[in-house]
Structure 1
């Protein structure tokens, strides 16, 4: 799937929050969330289009409201 600007912006936000929370590696974060590292990589690069359930998992793991993951989108 070709990355769109919105998916890239979402992925950038996830990466930013992941690092702020002290998860320097995608692998450690993926393990914490219960996802595969390649899936987290796909989200962060905009290649994946996460479902609502995945967005909720990410928000919970990052200790933010789901809306905070979408703040950078137009």
Structure 2
């Protein structure tokens, strides 16, 4: 699974865990910032892994979901100890 698909899957999982529809999530994103370019169609493509979002968009989605950005971008890879 590539990173776009993983991010999309993470967003959808967080959204459904929060009990939100795509429309409700878009409304929350719009409440955070004007002119985000995120509408229901874009969000659908994002969740399907067909979009390459900006960091700003990912941050807004995470904020609207009330989750850390790392939860959205987590690729499931095991990190070696630092």
- Provide the TM-score with structure 1 as the length reference: 0.83
Count, aligned residues = 70
* Cα distance in structure 2, aligned partners of 1:71 and 1:56: 13
Q: Which runs of 5+ in 1 are unaligned?
A: none
Equivalent residues in 2 for 1:47-58, closer than 5 Å = 47-58=50-61
* Cα distance in structure 2, aligned partners of 1:63 and 1:69: 11
| 1:32 paired residue number | 28
Greater than 4 Å deviation, 4+ residue runs? none
More helix by share: 1
Deviation at 1:73, TM superposition (A): 4.7
| 1:8 paired residue number | 5
The structure that has the greater radius of gyration is: 2
Deviation at 1:64, TM superposition (A): 1.2
| 1:46 paired residue number | 49
Farther-moved stretch of structure 1 (61-70 vs 10-19): 61-70
- Provide the TM-score with structure 2 as the length reference: 0.76
Cα-to-partner distance string for 1:37-74 (whole Å, 9 max, x where unaligned): 01101110011111010011011011111111112354
SS at match of 1:46: coil
